[in-house]
Amino acid sequence: DTGVSQDPRHKITKRGQNVTFRCDPISEHNRLYWYRQTLGQGPEFLTYFQNEAQLEKSRLLSDRFSAERPKGSFSTLEIQRTEQGDSAMYLCASSLAGAEAFFGQGTRLTVV
Amino acid sequence: AQSVSQHNHHVILSEAASLELGCNYSYGGTVNLFWYVQYPGQHLQLLLKYFSGDPLVKGIKGFEAEFIKSKFSFNLRKPSVQWSDTAEYFCAVVSNYGQNFVFGPGTRLSVLP
């Protein structure tokens, strides 16, 4: 049990549909990160929050992607008009400022 | 932009062999350094971390890493690997400029029984 929970674990969607993923961080952690990982690659940074503020977004995060962290607790990542290239494992992590990150199990997205 | 490179894509060792996995990063300022491990079908887990102080850090399961600032390196070592060490290993860096974790591409370790 990592303490970081992600839901769903797997999602299969048709191209063009919207999908939303949820992440529940470790409760006392003020930082929350989203990463994307494809087979044989390291995690690629997407965005991160400190409390409810979204402080940094990667160029990878196109305008079809949006993330929120209302009230500085759980976070959602939405992908609109999904494309086959969006198929990947989406990882959420949380940390205290300046400390190591703890990762969830990830949500595996398959776009068909 | 920060980047992290890992020297080996796939390493194959026999049990009891010694392990060294290379990691280099590009950022010249103050950094925090990490090694994460991902066992098959599992989430990323922290092996060890360096923030400051003694550049030789010890982690879980007998792993250690040495920070060499002049070489921008943070290599991972283990004197004697076990079959259960078969996994993917990722080096990561956080600088005092950017606050996100930048990961290397990973090294897949296969340990033969």
Q: What is the pLDDT of residues A20-55, one digit of tens each?
A: 999 999 999 999 999 999 988 999 999 999 999 998
Nearest CA in chain A to B95: A98
Q: Is the pLDDT score of B5 beyond 70?
A: yes
* Whole-number CA gyration radius for chain B: 13
Give me the mean pLDDT over the B16-33 stretch. Answer: 92
Summary mean pLDDT of chain B = 93
Distance from the Cα of B54 to chain A's closest Cα (Å) equals: 17
Q: Is the pLDDT score of A69 beyond 90?
A: yes
Least Cα distance to A44 among A31, A26, A61, A32 occurs for A61
User: What pLDDT is stored for residue A1 in this prediction?
Assistant: 53
User: What pLDDT is stored for residue A2 in this prediction?
Assistant: 55
Per-residue pLDDT tens digits for B47-79: 999 999 999 999 999 999 999 999 999 999 999
User: What pLDDT is stored for residue A59 in this prediction?
Assistant: 81
Is residue A64 a contact partner of residue A8, using CB atoms and an 8 Å limit?
no
Chain A window 44-73: which residues touch B at a Cβ cutoff of 8 Å?
Answer: 44-45, 48, 50, 55-56
Q: B46 pLDDT band (50/70/90 cuts)?
A: very high
Whether B1 contacts chain A with CB within 8 A: no
Angle, vertex CA A34, rays to CA A28 and CA A40, nearest 5: 130
Question: In sequence order, which residues have a C-beta less than 8 Å from that of residue B68 and are 6 or more positions away?
Answer: B55, B74, B75
Helical H segments across chain A, by residue range: none
Nearest CA in chain B to A107: B43
C-alpha B37/C-alpha B18 separation (Å) is 17
Is residue B76 a contact partner of residue B58, using CB atoms and an 8 Å limit?
no
- Tell me the two tokens of residue A9: 């674990």
What is the four-CA torsion angle of B49, B55, B59, B62, rounded to 10 degrees?
Answer: 150
C-alpha A82/C-alpha A14 separation (Å) is 8
What 3-state DSSP class applies to B69?
helix
Q: Is the pLDDT score of B99 beyond 80?
A: no
Q: Is the pLDDT score of A81 beyond 60?
A: yes
